[in-house]
A and B are shown apart, each in its own frame.
Chain A
């Protein structure tokens, strides 16, 4: 059934292409397409609050190599396993660093039911992200080596914990402590010398595009409002961060290359029942799995029925991946009257944690300088967060 709907959509797209031009009214292409709600002015109606109500592995596990969808039994089994994550109070040995970093326990996450697909990645057909280019591999390896060096003298490496995977314990702190990473830092590192050492998330500078829901960290909602010739989306993601996209629908070309934005430049048009958005002009400070200013997204938002919307994103950066790849999600319409979406990023407004971390680091520095405390590089302040959802491994 799902397959049939998709192929009909393709037919509609072809029809639109033949008819030529961007049609504000999609009526001529709907003869064979599924009946979807339309706005009073005749565009496909994508309005409302939408979320992916299920959890789906991002990439396909080798265990399901030839299987695009889970069987009902597999989903039930995975749900059973994952239910134990709820309410689990994962803690390390009391009084240890690991225990403190485990303060973000299951209470802070959500566990959604396992979805139908064995992977969000639908192309390549094996459900795996294509190989990185040799250049991107080199950049990723250098970045990882730097982060591991900052961790090498911590308990995390001594005890061979996951945060030190690929690294080695060395009681002597690294000589690279004052080095800057080769590219603008976007992830948590075991150093708090400057705000720029913080993860974008900790600095209230995330989450960007593409946005597929934040793993077991909170999910994401998007509110879509349309007007003739205009469309806006407001994202409510993770633990209370949010941001807006105002899709430029007037057929004009992308922003000049000199203008770079955290969320890129979104330009859309209608193809049959699909809103197609082309996104470029990303900032070199944004990072999606290693892709920065050259990230290119082509999104397709297609209303499939009264309560469903299919989201598809093709991700391309020839400098990073050997070929383009595609992710698919199904969003479900949420209760509009209840309106659980929150239009307020209010992240920096309450970000007492980040400056506190820096303040603590300065106190540790001062103690160490006076010979009163250990080298700060023997503390792990960067890894050990989050739960171990078997879907996310």
Chain B
């Protein structure tokens, strides 16, 4: 059903483009939305195709909970918790360092994006490592340090990204941490070293963009739940336009060192249709300085209770092996 819908949309667009409309607007709307949509059309008009292929150019964003946890999960008080007054897992409370965020530090629930049985097929020892990662989320998740997010995580972090599609290259610029990748549709040599963002080589399978991503390091994660991979990670991504403003995104995740078999995630990516949409900077390494180097200040930004003034006095005990320096050396 989806395939048929897609096929007809694209063939209509191709015909329109062939008929001489240099810029064909995807956006059509009800009269009530006419004003906003007219503005969007003027400002961010895109032809339906580039070089005869569906045009993915524009600004997109996932609108789901995948960055918290790829697997299905109920809402949680925080990404990292500690035992509360009861001995039950379901009665845990936020761990001290995130306590101060209140409900803003909580984790929204999700039906998950892992296809099939919804479970990531970890090998037994890898599953133990994932659980350990989750327990030490604050010290281990590279997102908190503003490290390059890697692929696929950059595709579904809660930040927009921009696709610039040409005929031989497709560039993806992610707002988070100034990260980017170029998908090479033409012949290209591999990178000189392993990478955080992978080496992306693409081709067209009909109207679907298929991207093979390799040459990863083992430093990136898949979400805030401790899901991880090794340097043997091999991704196969598929981008298909479901409608002018929705991409159906799939990624097959293969890593024989960590998973018992390849597995797949799938989700829609939505176009940011606001007329004035543009990527802004999110240069978070500046924001993470206090987190990473605050203890090295000559005068630390100390916090106390003074009268009615609240001071969050927090103990974050970093387990052996998880301090910044040790983590780096792993």
Interface, chain A (partner B; CB < 8 A)? 24-25, 39-41, 47, 193-195, 203-205, 223, 225-232, 234, 242-244, 246, 248, 250-252, 255, 259, 261-263, 336-340, 342-350, 352, 354-355, 358-359, 361-362, 365
**Distance of A255 Cα from B296 Cα, bound (Å):** 36
Mask of B136-150 contacts with A, CB within 8 angstroms, 1/0: 000000100111100
- Chain A residues lying within 8 Å of B57, measured Cβ to Cβ, are 227-230
Nearest Cβ on chain B to A26's Cβ, whole angstroms: 13
Q: Would B171 and A355 count as touching, CB distance under 8 A?
A: no
21 A-B pairs in the complex with CB atoms less than 8 angstroms apart: A193-B298, A203-B289, A205-B285, A225-B182, A226-B164, A227-B166, A228-B55, A229-B45, A229-B57, A230-B57, A248-B278, A250-B45, A336-B168, A337-B189, A339-B184, A343-B180, A348-B145, A349-B147, A349-B219, A361-B298, A362-B298
Which residue of A has the minimal Cβ distance to B164? A232
Which residue of A has the minimal Cβ distance to B183? A225
Interface SS of chain B: loop
CB-contacts of B29-68 with A (<8 A): 42-47, 50-51, 55, 57
Q: Would B23 and A229 count as touching, CB distance under 8 A?
A: yes
Q: Does B195 contact A (CB under 8 A)?
A: yes
Which residue of A has the minimal Cβ distance to B145? A348
**Distance of A359 Cα from B293 Cα, bound (Å):** 9
Nearest Cβ on chain B to A42's Cβ, whole angstroms: 8
Nearest Cβ on chain A to B120's Cβ, whole angstroms: 25
Q: Would A194 and B298 count as touching, CB distance under 8 A?
A: yes
Given A246-B278, A342-B191, decide whether A231 and B164 contact each other with a Cβ distance below 8 A: yes
- Chain B residues lying within 8 Å of A345, measured Cβ to Cβ, are 148, 177-179
- Chain B residues lying within 8 Å of A365, measured Cβ to Cβ, are 298
- In the complex, which of the residues B57, B177, B288, B298 has the most CB atoms of chain A within 10 Å of its own CB atom? B298
Nearest Cβ on chain B to A148's Cβ, whole angstroms: 21
Given A246-B173, A346-B148, A349-B147, decide whether A227 and B164 contact each other with a Cβ distance below 8 A: yes
Which residue of B has the minimal Cβ distance to A204? B285
The 4 A-B residue pairs with the shortest CB-CB distance in the complex, in nearest-first order: A193-B298, A358-B296, A250-B43, A225-B171
Q: Would B192 and A340 count as touching, CB distance under 8 A?
A: yes
CB-contacts of B151-171 with A (<8 A): 162, 164-171
**Distance of A336 Cα from B326 Cα, bound (Å):** 38
Q: Would B173 and A232 count as touching, CB distance under 8 A?
A: yes
- Chain A residues lying within 8 Å of B280, measured Cβ to Cβ, are 255, 259, 261
Nearest Cβ on chain B to A14's Cβ, whole angstroms: 25
Q: Does B188 contact A (CB under 8 A)?
A: yes
- Chain A residues lying within 8 Å of B177, measured Cβ to Cβ, are 345
Q: Would B164 and A246 count as touching, CB distance under 8 A?
A: yes
Q: Does B181 contact A (CB under 8 A)?
A: yes
- Chain B residues lying within 8 Å of A242, measured Cβ to Cβ, are 178, 180
Given A232-B171, A243-B178, A361-B298, decide whether A24 and B328 contact each other with a Cβ distance below 8 A: no
Nearest Cβ on chain A to B219's Cβ, whole angstroms: 7
Which residue of B has the minimal Cβ distance to A261? B281
Question: How many contacts between A and B, using CB within 8 angstroms?
Answer: 162
Given A244-B180, A252-B43, A261-B281, decide whether A337 and B296 contact each other with a Cβ distance below 8 A: no
- Chain B residues lying within 8 Å of A228, measured Cβ to Cβ, are 22-23, 46-47, 50, 55, 57
- Chain B residues lying within 8 Å of A47, measured Cβ to Cβ, are 166, 168-169
- In the complex, which of the residues B178, B192, B197 has the most CB atoms of chain A within 10 Å of its own CB atom? B178
Given A193-B298, A227-B165, A355-B292, decide whether A203 and B286 contact each other with a Cβ distance below 8 A: yes
Q: Would A339 and B148 count as touching, CB distance under 8 A?
A: no
Q: Does B299 contact A (CB under 8 A)?
A: yes
Q: Does B306 contact A (CB under 8 A)?
A: no
Q: Would A337 and B293 count as touching, CB distance under 8 A?
A: no
- Chain B residues lying within 8 Å of A340, measured Cβ to Cβ, are 192
Partner of B297, one of A193, A259, A263: A193
Nearest Cβ on chain B to A47's Cβ, whole angstroms: 6
Q: Would B146 and A39 count as touching, CB distance under 8 A?
A: no
Partner of B173, one of A39, A227, A244: A244
**Distance of A229 Cα from B162 Cα, bound (Å):** 13
Q: Does B187 contact A (CB under 8 A)?
A: yes
Q: Would A348 and B192 count as touching, CB distance under 8 A?
A: no
- Chain B residues lying within 8 Å of A225, measured Cβ to Cβ, are 164, 166, 169-171, 182
- Chain A residues lying within 8 Å of B90, measured Cβ to Cβ, are none
- Chain A residues lying within 8 Å of B147, measured Cβ to Cβ, are 348-349
- Chain B residues lying within 8 Å of A362, measured Cβ to Cβ, are 296, 298
Q: Does B248 contact A (CB under 8 A)?
A: no
- In the complex, which of the residues A193, A234, A343 has the most CB atoms of chain B within 10 Å of its own CB atom? A343
**Distance of A339 Cα from B288 Cα, bound (Å):** 31
Q: Would A263 and B281 count as touching, CB distance under 8 A?
A: yes
CB-contacts of B255-297 with A (<8 A): 276, 278-281, 283, 285-286, 288-290, 292-293, 296-297
Q: Would A344 and B148 count as touching, CB distance under 8 A?
A: yes
Which residue of A has the minimal Cβ distance to B288? A348
Partner of A250, one of B44, B188, B197, B279: B44
- Chain A residues lying within 8 Å of B88, measured Cβ to Cβ, are none
**Distance of A232 Cα from B178 Cα, bound (Å):** 13
